[in-house]
């Protein structure tokens, strides 16, 4: 499913109006009518409620006027609270506002805080609110009068339908612009926006409904949105069934370079997770001193001891043996638990630059890379980075809160600049590719906030690359299955307290359920926007 930026949505509207010839007023009519249908589907007995429509002066307000008209014609008790002087309305918003008077729809003009204060007690009795104050074009902080109105609606603790986007929510980042309407449901138009899906925007959005307003498919394709929501059907189609004569060599051989004293679990989980993803063979390259420790931890993966530092970590002298080992491998997983000794950092840098197979870099591999990220530009093979926000911040020399403020933009810029595939982990993981396309993952849950989850993901992605999937496909499939496996564990074990090993063991079952169409637990259905007919 495509996700749009505010600019992409404006371009689709423009082309629909100018080149296709569908008038803007018809688009507004379809939007308001579709939003009405969403509200009435939630409240079949809506005639028993008093509905307030808070409307601004722009097109978002115009959509609200259309909705109010339809509610009134359905004999529903509705009143419009216009948060400006009606004389300031323009275009189709003004035209639809004039229709309210012709029908006798009750309207109160509240152009300032003084008039708003006089009507607060009346407004407090509204049982349902429609938010049509600010649209998707908002980029600055909400202050003053509109802030006071949004605070009032939120404090009323009534169900709210937001029209297109909750007022105050940034459409491109999912961040509140100072303050934001907390909606129970949102009726957006044509396509979801990034802000509806990314957190915390998804929490403000509530249940998202996508209303078809008449934009032709060819215009949507021509606009070519650069953001996409991963979904079950898309991932299912990408996982190829195995031929009946498949053998372990055909399923690929992966080399995992990982581990340091005190961090053997990271190495073991990455290797085992790759096998649970379907890799035919896995060799685990570790410091020599850890071989007796790790051999009992991993049954199926093979181990090989490599040159080590005085402290017991991997040495840069391991580079040549590792590069030799890669001659018959399809992928290199690099970084889980390897530490940040200067000699280890030199090893990481050389392997990223000289590996002839795709490299998946995680954990300490990323921390070592952060000292010289420019080496990515000279890499011989595709590189997949899997940072959490803290590691991402170190890569770009920023603070984690800056990364979180624009996850999609941050991931996209880095992937394009350094020609890498970047998996920015966290709630609603972002997967950015060198061509600028970005995918957002809807699976996963808060119980994944536990050590070792990243090691499992590293094994999943590298395991799929080893089977012959492209780095782009492997990143998307691995991230989706990682979250879906955790969702399955959460369903059976509880919301939290499960471990990365529990998720690792769930992977084959999750793959089976995905391929047989049995992977849609009820709580996950809420993550996928619902499409509404016009």
The CB-side HSE value for 307 (13 A sphere, CA atoms) comes to: 11
Residue 450 CB: number of other CB atoms within 10 A?
15
What span, in angstroms and rounded, lies between the C-alpha atoms of 160 and 272?
47
Please state the domain extents for the chain.
2-229, 232-238+246-439+447-519
Backbone angles phi, psi at 308, to 5 degrees: -130, 165
| Both tokens assigned to 48 | 């028993």
What span, in angstroms and rounded, lies between the C-alpha atoms of 524 and 505?
20
Cβ contacts of 44 within 8 Å, gap of 6 or more = none
The dihedral built from the CA positions of residue 452, 458, 461 and 462, taken in this order, carries a sign that is negative
What span, in angstroms and rounded, lies between the C-alpha atoms of 374 and 292?
37
**What CATH code would you report for 232-238+246-439+447-519?**
3.40.1190.20
The closest of 116, 42, 109, 35 to 69, measured between CA atoms, is 35
Give the pLDDT of residue 523. Answer: 39
Q: Burial level of 97, CB count in 10 A (0-12/13-18/19+)?
A: buried
| Both tokens assigned to 26 | 């018809």
The SS3 of residue 182 is coil
The closest of 110, 174, 97 to 146, measured between CA atoms, is 110
Pair 367, 389: CB distance under 8 Å? no
The per-residue pLDDT for range 321-332, each reduced to its tens digit, is 999 999 999 999
What span, in angstroms and rounded, lies between the C-alpha atoms of 94 and 153?
24
What span, in angstroms and rounded, lies between the C-alpha atoms of 103 and 106?
9
The SS3 of residue 231 is coil
Which fold does the domain 2-229 belong to in CATH? Answer: Rossmann fold (3.40.50)
Give the pLDDT of residue 493. Answer: 95
| Both tokens assigned to 283 | 């060799």
Residue ranges for the chain with pLDDT beneath 70: 519-534
How many whole angstroms from its chain centre is CA 215? 24
Give the pLDDT of residue 522. Answer: 37
**Angle CA 451–427–486, to nearest 5:** 55
Residue 86 CB: number of other CB atoms within 10 A?
15
Cβ contacts of 422 within 8 Å, gap of 6 or more = 384, 385, 387, 411, 414, 415, 430, 431, 432
Pair 422, 391: CB distance under 8 Å? no
Residue 319 CB: number of other CB atoms within 10 A?
19
Give the pLDDT of residue 533. Answer: 47
The dihedral built from the CA positions of residue 183, 185, 191 and 194, taken in this order, carries a sign that is positive
What span, in angstroms and rounded, lies between the C-alpha atoms of 286 and 140?
51
The closest of 379, 381, 395 to 465, measured between CA atoms, is 381
Pair 213, 188: CB distance under 8 Å? no
What strands lie across the sheet with 331-334, from one edge to the other? 2-3, 227-229, 438-440, 430-432, 421-424, 383-385, 359-361, 331-334, 253-257, 281-287, 302-306
SS (H, E, C) 431-463: EECCCCCEEECCCCCHHHCCCCHHHHHHHHHHH
The closest of 438, 436, 468, 443 to 457, measured between CA atoms, is 443
Pair 263, 339: CB distance under 8 Å? yes
Residue 499 CB: number of other CB atoms within 10 A?
17
Whether residue 157 is preceded by a cis peptide bond, meaning omega within 30 degrees of 0, is no
**Angle CA 156–160–162, to nearest 5:** 135
According to DSSP, the residues that pair with 282 across neighbouring strands are 254
Give the pLDDT of residue 530. Answer: 55
Cβ contacts of 408 within 8 Å, gap of 6 or more = 172, 173, 194, 198, 227, 430, 432, 438, 440
Residue 148 CB: number of other CB atoms within 10 A?
15
Give the pLDDT of residue 520. Answer: 53
**Angle CA 241–488–411, to nearest 5:** 80
The SS3 of residue 166 is coil
The SS3 of residue 106 is coil
What span, in angstroms and rounded, lies between the C-alpha atoms of 363 and 458?
9
What span, in angstroms and rounded, lies between the C-alpha atoms of 279 and 308?
27
Total residues belonging to the chain: 534
Give the pLDDT of residue 434. Answer: 97
């Amino acid at each position: 499913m495509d996700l749009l930026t505010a600019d992409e949505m404006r371009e689709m509207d423009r082309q629909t109006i100018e080149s296709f010839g569908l008038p803007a007023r018809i688009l507004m009519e379809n939007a308001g009518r579709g939003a009405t249908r969403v509200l009435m589907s939630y409240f079949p007995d809506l005639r028993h409620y008093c509905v307030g429509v808070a409307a601004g002066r722009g097109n978002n307000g115009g959509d609200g006027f259309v909705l109010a008209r339809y509610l009134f014609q359905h004999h529903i008790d509705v009143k419009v609270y216009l948060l400006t002087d009606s004389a300031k309305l323009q275009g189709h918003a003004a035209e639809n506002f004039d229709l309210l008077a012709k029908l006798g729809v009750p309207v109160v003009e509240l152009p300032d805080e003084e008039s708003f204060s006089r009507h607060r007690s009346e407004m407090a009795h509204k049982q349902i609110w429609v938010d049509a104050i600010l649209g998707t074009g908002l980029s600055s902080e909400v202050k003053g009068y509109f802030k006071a109105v949004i605070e009032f609606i939120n404090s009323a603790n009534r169900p709210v339908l937001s029209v297109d986007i909750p007022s105050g929510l940034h459409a491109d980042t999912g961040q509140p612009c100072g303050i934001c309407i907390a909606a129970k449901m949102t009726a957006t138009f044509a396509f979801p926006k990034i802000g509806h899906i990314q957190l915390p925007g998804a929490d403000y959005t509530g249940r998202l409904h996508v209303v078809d307003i008449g934009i032709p498919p060819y215009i949507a394709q021509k606009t070519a949105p650069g953001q996409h929501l991963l979904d079950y059907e898309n991932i299912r189609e990408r996982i190829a069934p195995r031929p009946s004569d498949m053998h372990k060599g055909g399923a690929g051989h992966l080399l995992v370079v990982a581990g340091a004293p005190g961090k053997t679990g990271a190495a073991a989980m990455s290797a085992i997770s790759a096998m649970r993803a379907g890799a035919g063979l896995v060799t685990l390259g570790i410091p020599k001193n850890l071989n007796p420790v790790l051999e009992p931890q991993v049954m199926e993966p093979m181990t090989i001891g490599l040159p080590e530092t005085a402290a017991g970590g991997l040495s840069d002298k391991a580079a040549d043996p590792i590069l030799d080992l890669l001659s018959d491998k399809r992928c290199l997983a690099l970084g889980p638990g390897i530490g940040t000794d200067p000699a280890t950092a030199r090893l990481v840098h050389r392997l990223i630059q000289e590996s002839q197979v795709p490299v998946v870099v995680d954990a300490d591999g990323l921390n070592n890379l952060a000292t010289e990220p420019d080496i990515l530009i000279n890499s011989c093979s595709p590189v997949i980075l899997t940072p959490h926000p803290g590691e991402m911040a170190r890569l770009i020399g920023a603070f984690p809160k800056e990364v979180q403020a624009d996850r999609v933009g941050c991931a996209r810029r880095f992937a394009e600049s350094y020609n890498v595939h970047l998996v920015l982990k966290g709630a609603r993981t972002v997967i950015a590719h060198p061509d600028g396309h970005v995918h957002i993952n809807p699976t996963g849950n808060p119980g994944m906030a536990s050590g070792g989850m990243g090691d499992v993901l590293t094994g999943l992605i590298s395991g799929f690359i080893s089977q012959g999937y492209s780095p782009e496909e492997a990143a998307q499939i691995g991230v989706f299955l990682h979250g879906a496996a955790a969702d399955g564990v959460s369903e059976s074990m509880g919301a939290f307290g499960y471990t990365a090993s529990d998720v690792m063991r769930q992977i084959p079952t999750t793959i089976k359920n995905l391929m047989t169409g049995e992977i849609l637990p009820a709580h996950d259905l809420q993550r996928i926007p619902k499409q509404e007919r016009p």
